[in-house]
Amino acid sequence: MASPPSSSSRFLLLLMLFLTASASDDVMRDDERAPKSESCNNPFQLVKVENWADGEKSLTHSGMSARFGSSLPEKAENSVRTPAIFSNPSDCCSPLTSKLFDSVALCIRGGCDFQVKATFSQAGGATGVLIINNEDDLAEMVCSNSTEANITIPVVMITKSAGEALNASLASGKRVEVLLYAPPRPLVDFSVAFLWLMSVGTLVCASLWSDLTTPEKSGERYNELFPKESRNAAAARGGYDKQVLKINSKAAVVFVIAASTFLVLLFFFMSAWFMWVLIILFCISGVQGMHNCITSLTLRKWQNCGQKTVNVPLFGEISIFSLLVFLFCVAFAVFWAATRHESYSWIGQDILGICLMITVLQLAQLPNIKVATVLLSSAFAYDIFWVFISPLIFHESVMIAVARGDKAGGEAIPMLLKFPRLFDAWGGYDMIGFGDIIFPGLLVSFAHSFDKDNKKGALNGYFLWMVIGYGIGLVFTYLGLYLMDGNGQPALLYLVPCTLGVIIILGLIRGELKSLWNYGTDSSLSTEPSYSEV
């Protein structure tokens, strides 16, 4: 139970983490290929559709405005409650026979172009158009040609489920009213600051973890408690049997190729059941990471906690403390999985994720800067290609499509740190992939080990400057995210130069680059365990 994962399972875990190596956000989609004209060049706006049935407030729906038509006010008080009526014909593809004066027309999608629907609705006296999509998603309503649209009323698309809710109220004979407005998203939300603190804090804790969890030795008393114990004995008292995975240059390249292959498979074959596989793997890995963090921190201070053991079928002799912690971690992960769609589920996901990343950074190590350069340069190219260049081949960004979970039935990849937007009328989360912490974290952990082995201080060492560089790289990442209007960014584009670039430049200036480059041994992926007391 306390033993580490096998080499194959650790490699698969790192592979999944690589797939989330791009900072992601609520991606704004924009079809630049569609024809445009002076009257068909509106920016797409997210629209709030408040509605009432017989004066009773109902659930607010979300929509998206069209390229054409009039703009909506940003505040609800600047808009007007208007009756909503289903058009006749329902697709709005021919002159309407229903009376729509001073009303919002409800039209179903299909049968003709969006412009045609809006033109007939406007001619029928409608003050606005709500087009009901044929699926629970929002599509971009663009112009079908470059001619002038001549639409002077707002045109908004809503999801299929939202249309069904409005239709149910109308079918029951209730008077339905809607109010449309488009609150803007803030340029910067304070959630970014919390996410920055979580990311940097996780990286620092993971790098210093061996120092933080080394048992407090007290001379003869410590030796009496744990006199050169075996691996089984360490596991029995709940200790973490640390098996280090050392990465070499060849493995780094193979890893990137394997990650790219897996990413393409996800892009083409992603489904709800496959997302469930990732969720289950995340829970299993999160349980192990959480168990490791709790037991190692506790046993550092109270070593006697691991003394009492019990025989468990299939697992053998396990400490009672370790077993209780394991059961707690399993219950925590199951609760998160069962409530992952709730507004508070991000807390459990972040806790499991942080513990998982701390554990991974104890299991995987870079031997020197040469291997770090190969790995991070490959990751740098990987991130840029699958975010920015892949649309030229696949017609959309493969990385963003996978992270968004477009074909996963509403499920999202869990390998992300999330924090809710506190001052955004649309809510949502700012997020960062585990890979954006893991891969720079390997270099930061190496810098700490190098400083420790060479007895370097904070200023003349490399660890502090790596942490500062990582923090600055994250700032650049989110600056790029906002300058690109919320479109997903390859975070490693900014993080690799701010970490790998910094340590190479510092090593060159200090005359230590050769030592950093050839430090340690460039061995194959190690499967030989090295034991350390926890």
Which positions are annotated as active-site residues?
383, 436
Residue 200: count of CB within 10 angstroms of its CB:
17
- Give all strands (DSSP E) within 244-315, no chain letters: 245-246, 309-312
Chain-centroid distance of CA 256 in Å reads: 19
Strands 56-57 and 46-53: antiparallel
Residues 132 and 158 sit within 8 Å (Cβ to Cβ): yes
Structure tokens at 369: 């800067």
Residue 143's closest CA among 40, 64, 71? 40
CA distances from 184 to 65, 143, 187 (A): 13, 23, 9
- R_g of the chain computed on alpha carbons: 28
Give 6-60 as a DSSP string.
Answer: PHHHHHHHHHHHHHT-SB---PPP--TTS---TTS-PPP-EEEEEEEETTEE---
DSSP alpha helix (H) spans, 425-512: 435-453, 463-483, 492-510
Helix ranges, 341-462 (H): 345-363, 369-384, 391-394, 398-404, 435-453
Sign of the CA dihedral 502, 507, 513, 517?
negative
Residue 50: C-alpha distances to residues 58, 102, 127, 451 (Å): 7, 17, 16, 59
Backbone φ and ψ of 97, nearest 5°: -100, -15
